[in-house]
Every structure is written in structure tokens, then in C-alpha cells.
Amino acid sequence: MRCPFCGSLETQVKDSRPADDHTTIRRRRVCDACGGRFTTFERVQLRELTVVKRSGRRVPFDRDKLARSVSVALRKRDVMPERVDRLINGIVSQLESMGETEISSEQVGETIMGALKNLDHVAYVRFASVYRNFNEASDFGAIVDELKEKDEGKR
């Protein structure tokens, strides 16, 4: 593992333990060259995913990009970080278990929207407004009406 401080490839693992969610391993490392200490996380990856964009361009799936999108949608919302981690892990697992190595950006977006809809309605509307490219206030009204119908169906 490359040291983030000096770039040396000579680092040692000093401590390993499961992370709080037990889906990742947390490793404390120390650099032999500069003595810097840092933490890495290791998680299981079922398969390499490629996202096919609307333009037809293919890009590697980026878990960090997914996490950033979800965190923007959840900004200033009262959602515990553990729930966000579980949500992201669940989305990635769902995408990996589809059995395909190439997935469309639409599949990724719809999977995220489904997960956010069950977690936080405000985050769902925020994400949907960007993902579906809302242009008018009526676009927001339609999605809010959809959420109201879902809530009324639960009663």
C-alpha cells in the first residue's frame, strides 16, 4: 500500500479488525520510510462493474462517486452515518448481484432512488430532481404526489 504522505510502497500493517458494520476490515498502517500512520479499509467485491452512460461511454463503477451522490442528497438530514453506510453497501450489493458486469447508468440511478425512497423522502426528492433533470416546479409536485400516495397506501 502506498503511503499517502511520502509515496513509499514500504508500509506495514500494525492492526487489523472488522469495521463496525462487519463488511469491511479496518487496517492501521505505518510507513517504514517516513513513519506516517494511516488507516485503510478492505471490502469484498463480487465483480468488476462497468457503467454504461446514456452517451454509450463505458466507465468503471465508482463506489466513492455513489457515496458522494448519496451524501449530497442527505446533506443536513438527520440520518445516522451507520444507516448511510448500510444503504451504500446495499446498493453496491444489489448492483453486483444483478449478474451482469455492465450496468446502465439508469439502473444505477433507479437503484439509488429506490433505496433513498425507503430511507428519507427529502433525500429522495433531492436525488430525483438531479437524476431526472427537473426543469419546472410541477416536476417536484409530481414526485411529491407519488410519495403522498405511497404514504396513504401504508395507512
Say yes or no to pLDDT of 47 above 80: no
CA angle 87, 78, 130 (to 5 degrees): 65
Distance CA 110, CA 34 (A): 45
Residue-averaged pLDDT of the chain? 90
Q: What is the pTM of this model?
A: 0.70
Name the one residue in this structure whose C-alpha cell is 463488511: 23
Per residue in 3-24, pLDDT (tens digit) is: 999 999 999 999 999 977 677 8
Q: Is pLDDT above 70 for 45?
A: no
101 vs 155, higher pLDDT: 101
Nearest CA among 126, 56, 132, 61 for reference residue 94? 61
- Residue 43: pLDDT band by 50, 70, 90 thresholds? confident
pLDDT at 21: 67
- Mean pLDDT is lowest, of 31-35, 102-106, 127-131, for 127-131
Q: pLDDT exceeding 70 applies to what percent of the chain? A: 96
66 Cβ contact list (under 8 Å, min separation 6): 88, 91, 92, 108, 112
In this prediction, residue 99 carries a pLDDT of 83
